[in-house]
Amino acid sequence: MMDEDKELIFQCQRGKMKAFKTLVEKYKKPAFFVALGLVGNREDAYDLSQEAFVRVFRSIKRYNPEHKFFTWFYTILSNLCKNHLKRRGVQKSHLENIDLAQDVYSPDVILEKNEINLRLWEEISKLPYEFKEIILLKHFHEFSYRKISETLNIPLGSVMSRLYYARKKLKENLKDILD
């Protein structure tokens, strides 16, 4: 699988559009859903994940084949999402009494819109970025610890401790429905 990516990237570096298309088709779903979890609504997630691919294409010559493609891609995508959230925060900060998370975290994206799921989605949206990120990778993308460690570029031990504190926080905020 890794060799396949390397070959595709090698082709992309020589300007082969077809190889780039194959790469996009292969990773578009994880890209979109990662962004969806991070920014909370379909429109932004669609746009930001596409933009991440465009940036990949523009900087493909600088890609270091020592790293896995998805790790590199994730860094680009995550930075785009983080900046997007920051910008949105700044735009909203001068408006009072607006719950930042709620009007951009769309409940539409939840498959089964029951009370628990909607509350959970709301609480995830309010988590600090690093906590949100690791919860999403573990639960919605079903990444193994090894894959999380590669994707976030942190040691396995940090994966476990970050996950512990992220879940602890989420658990406390959801106390009323978990008990």
Nearest Cα to 31, choosing from 64, 62, 2, 73?
A: 73
How far is it, in rounded angstroms, from Cα 25 to Cα 13? 17
The helix (H) or strand (E) run that includes residue 147 is helix 145-152
In terms of CB distance, is 11 or 50 closer to other proteins? 50
Query: In the complex, what is the shortest distance from the CB of residue 73 to other proteins, in angstroms, rounded to a whole number?
Result: 13
Query: Which residues here bind other proteins, judged by CB under 8 A?
Result: 17, 21, 24-25, 28-29, 32-33, 36-37, 42-44, 46-47, 50-51, 53-54, 57-58, 87, 91, 108-112, 116-117, 120-121, 135, 138-140, 144-145, 160-161, 163-164, 167, 170-171, 174, 177-178
Could you count the other beta carbons within 10 Å of the beta carbon of residue 165?
13
Cβ proximity to other proteins: between 5 and 84 the closer is 84
What CA–CA distance (Å, rounded) separates 128 from 149? 19
Rounded to the nearest whole angstrom, what is the least distance from the CB of residue 54 to other proteins in the complex? 5
Instruction: State which residue, 3 or 94, has the beta carbon closest to other proteins.
Output: 94
Contact criterion met (CB below 8 Å) for 34 and 49: yes
Our CB check for other proteins shows the closer of 86 and 139 to be 139
Query: Are 90 and 137 spatial neighbours (Cβ–Cβ below 8 Å)?
Result: no
CB of 109 to other proteins, least distance (A): 5
* Distance of closest approach, residue 66 Cβ to other proteins, in angstroms: 25
Our measurement of the distance from residue 36's CA atom to the centroid of its chain's CA atoms, rounded to an integer in Å, reads: 7
Measure CA 157 to chain center. Answer: 21
**Nearer Cβ to other proteins (53/72):** 53
Q: How far is the CB of 138 from other proteins (least distance, A)?
A: 7
